[in-house]
């Protein structure tokens, strides 16, 4: 158990629908990251939050949105789903401080949420 | 932006063989990390490298931070079936982190 909790583990839905993926970071971690991993692909960075505020944005579609709540859990909302959105969605957390401290900003990943769009 | 090139894309080896994979970048990173993803799971950190030239081991795994700070290598010695998975490199500079596309390792008993 990495300490990062993602729910649901599996989700099957239809095109055009909307889903919400939830992530609870590891205790003490202030940063949350969302990644998308399509079949046999690498990790595509979507978005990062630090202590409730958006810190960095990657290749996140306009149909997708995220937020981090005061208790530091985060939600990734995926709307108007398309077949190509089927993927594993990973949440990761870290202690990254602002401004950054020296040394590695180690990400701890959750087990992922597998989304299947039919 | 900074891109990471990870190779090889996949490897099929016999149990007991040694494995080498690497990551190169067009830009400098301050830190290199290596993660392993088991099937159906999230990536797990294997090794973190903090200084150029650093060589670090974790059991049968050895990783090096390239002297130019633009590359890193991971070696696995005497592979076993549970080494199967996808290995990702990650390069970090302040506020920026990039992952390689991964090396998919298959180990035949």
pLDDT digits (tens, 9 = 90+) for B7-57: 999 999 999 999 999 999 998 999 999 999 998 889 999 999 999 999 999
The series of mean pLDDT values per 10 residues for chain A, 118 residues long, is 94 98 95 90 89 90 96 97 96 74 76 96
Above 80 in pLDDT, residue B2? no
pLDDT computed for residue B48 by the predictor: 92
The pLDDT, as a whole number, for residue B1 is: 45
Interval B79-87 mean pLDDT = 96
Alpha carbon distance B45, B37 (integer Å): 9
Looking at residue A62, its pLDDT comes to: 96
Res. B97 pLDDT band, cuts 50 70 90:
confident
Strand extents, DSSP E, A1-118: 5-7, 10-13, 19-24, 31-37, 44-50, 53-57, 64-68, 74-78, 87-94, 108-109, 113-117
User: What is the per-residue pLDDT across A68-96, written as a single tens digit (0 to 9) for each?
Assistant: 999 999 999 999 999 999 999 999 999 87
Q: Which chain B residues are within 8 Å of A45, Cβ to Cβ?
A: 97, 99
Residues of A in Cβ contact (< 8 Å) with B51: none
Asked if residue B75 has pLDDT above 60, the reply is yes
Can you give B75-102 as a three-state secondary structure string?
EECCCCHHHCEEEEEEEEECCEEEECCC
The answer to whether the peptide bond before residue B8 is cis (omega within 30 degrees of 0) is yes
pLDDT at position B93 is 81
- Identify whether the C-beta of residue B43 lies closer than 8 Å to the C-beta of residue B36: yes
Of B35, B57, B100, B32, which Cα lies nearest the Cα of A42?
B100
The larger pLDDT score, comparing residue B79 to residue B39, is at: B79
What's residue A99's pLDDT? 47
* Mean pLDDT calculated for residue range B76-100: 90
Q: Which of B97, B98, B104 to mutate to test the interface with A (most CBs of A within 10 A)?
A: B97
Interface contact A100-B95, CB threshold 8 A = yes
């Amino acid at each position: 158990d990495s300490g990062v909790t993602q729910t649901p583990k599996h989700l099957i839905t239809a095109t055009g629908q909307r889903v919400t993926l939830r992530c609870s970071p590891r205790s003490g971690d202030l940063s949350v990251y969302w990644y998308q991993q399509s079949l046999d692909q690498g990790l595509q960075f979507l978005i990062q939050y630090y202590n409730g505020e958006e810190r960095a944005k990657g290749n996140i579609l306009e149909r997708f949105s995220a937020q981090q709540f005061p208790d530091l859990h985060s939600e990734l909302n995926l709307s108007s789903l398309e077949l190509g959105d089927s993927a594993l969605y990973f949440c990761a957390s870290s202690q990254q401080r602002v401004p950054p401290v020296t040394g590695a900003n180690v990400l701890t990943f959750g087990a992922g949420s597998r989304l299947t769009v039919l | 932006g900074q891109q990471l090139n990870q190779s090889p894309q996949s490897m099929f080896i016999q149990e007991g063989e040694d494995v080498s994979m690497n990551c190169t970048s067009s830009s400098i990173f301050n830190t290199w990390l290596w993660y392993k993803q088991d099937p159906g799971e999230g990536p797990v950190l294997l090794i973190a490298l903090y200084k150029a030239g650093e060589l670090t081991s974790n059991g049968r795994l050895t990783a090096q931070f390239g002297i130019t700070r633009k590359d890193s290598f991971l070696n696995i010695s005497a592979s076993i079936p549970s080494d199967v998975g996808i290995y990702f490199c990650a390069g970090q500079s302040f506020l920026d982190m990039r992952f390689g596309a991964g090396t998919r390792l298959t180990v035949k008993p």
